[in-house]
Structure 1
Amino acid sequence: MVPSGIHDDRKAQDVESKQYAIPTAERMRALGEQVARRMRGGEVILLSGPLGAGKTTFAQGFGAGLGIDEPIVSPTFTIARELNGTFADGRPARLIHVDAYRLGGTDYAPGQDSVDRLLDELESLGLDEELEDVDEHAVVLMEWGEQMAAALADERLDITLTRPVGTGHVRRTDRELTSDGMRYATLTAVGGRWDGFLGAFDFA
């Protein structure tokens, strides 16, 4: 594990972060699964990183951690999918899996800034209320979340995946094309809801 630290942001809220080295797709899935098993309902997870960083692989592990039987695939063409599963304590869980890559485009109306445009698009998709007040039986997992942070609620778990240039190789398994090679996953807890989450989280 890469050393973790505390980042102090006095302008907003205290932010706690941990970073993990993730060498394989299997480990990325395992990280997603362990995070999901800590969910209790009402959480917003923002998942960001470049293409090939492992976002979909993490999401697959996250779905497994919520006991979701359906395949977890990138929701790029539907923007949002809802999947039913189970929290670790046995309560029904609803995963709202969102791909925000195509939201917040550049063709704004006169005088409209990017945040206003983003909020308008979220409202048109019925996602604005989901993000402002997540149902106690639901968890929102939003890919490409870095584009959304300014427009979202103050309480969230940011997960940023990075992949050093020139690392990794592509191999085909029986089920899918995977790309192994070192990645880093930085988990950043923002807001009071997440107090103590990372302190108790130990990805082994």
Structure 2
Amino acid sequence: MRFEAPDTEAMERFGRELGRALRAGDLVVLTGPLGAGKTTLTRGIGDGLGIRGPVQSPTFVLARTHPNLGDGAPLVHVDAYRLGSAAELEDLDLDFDRSVVVVEWGAGLLDGVSESWLEIVIERRVGGEPAGRGAGAADHEDLDADEPRVVTAVGHGPRWAGTAFEVAPDAAPTPGGTAQPGA
């Protein structure tokens, strides 16, 4: 699935819709440059799940658990930006089985954690140039700009088979590492 989110409201709305579809044991890996909207998307996911408390970037605490206000799964929101290895992520002792776990900057750190995961890559323009996975620094004005983002969501594993996120068997990988149906 690939689409353009024209503003932060659209990013949160996609997150809410996604959050309503997520369940305990789901792993979502978010990739994108600084200011891409990873935490905004996670805020929407939290709303869709019905969790308690505001969703803020867990940059300095590394992980925050948000309890569910009903009987649904809690949200575990992880910022892996400062982690250097999968072992450091493992040291956080996250409850992958009974929670919905959303990991910002988690690409390459979660191999073998789950047989299924949803990879979401958010691209945005920074300083007039497209910025993707490894984008460099931008000034604060660029990071705060409410501008379109391109969102690519690809499901991996049996959990996502038969969903809008499933990769078609004939899909070819794009330069960023994700696959696009029919590409």
TM-score category (smaller protein): 0.7 to 0.9
Structure 2 counterpart of 1:121, from 65, 88, 100 = 88
For residues 120 and 149 of structure 1, do their structure 2 counterparts lie closer, same or farther at Cα, with a shift above 3 Å needed?
Answer: closer
User: If you compute each CA radius of gyration, which structure gives the higher value, 1 or 2?
Assistant: 1
Contact 2:35 2:144 in 1 (8 A): no
How far is the alpha carbon of 1:71 from its aligned partner? Answer: 0.8
Contact 2:155 2:165 in 1 (8 A): no
Give the TM-score normalised by structure 2: 0.76
**Alignment match, 1:180:** 146
Letter paired with 1:29? E
For residues 42 and 164 of structure 1, do their structure 2 counterparts lie closer, same or farther at Cα, with a shift above 3 Å needed?
Answer: same
Query: Any unmatched runs of 5+ in structure 2?
Result: 130-139, 167-183
Q: What do residues 5-44 of structure 1 show as CA deviations (whole Å, max 9, x unaligned)?
A: xxxxxxxxxxxxx101011000000011110000122100
**Alignment match, 1:13:** none
Give the TM-score normalised by structure 1: 0.68
**Alignment match, 1:157:** 118
SS in 2 for 1:184: strand
For residues 68 and 179 of structure 1, do their structure 2 counterparts lie closer, same or farther at Cα, with a shift above 3 Å needed?
Answer: farther
Query: Any unmatched runs of 5+ in structure 1?
Result: 1-17, 105-117, 172-176
Identity over aligned pairs, percent:
42
1:41 equivalent to 2:24? Answer yes
In 2, distance between residues paired with 1:83 and 1:72? Answer: 8
Higher share of residues assigned helix: 1
In 2, distance between residues paired with 1:40 and 1:143? Answer: 18
Equivalent pairs, count: 155
RMSD between aligned alpha carbons? 2.4
**Alignment match, 1:101:** 81
**Alignment match, 1:197:** 163
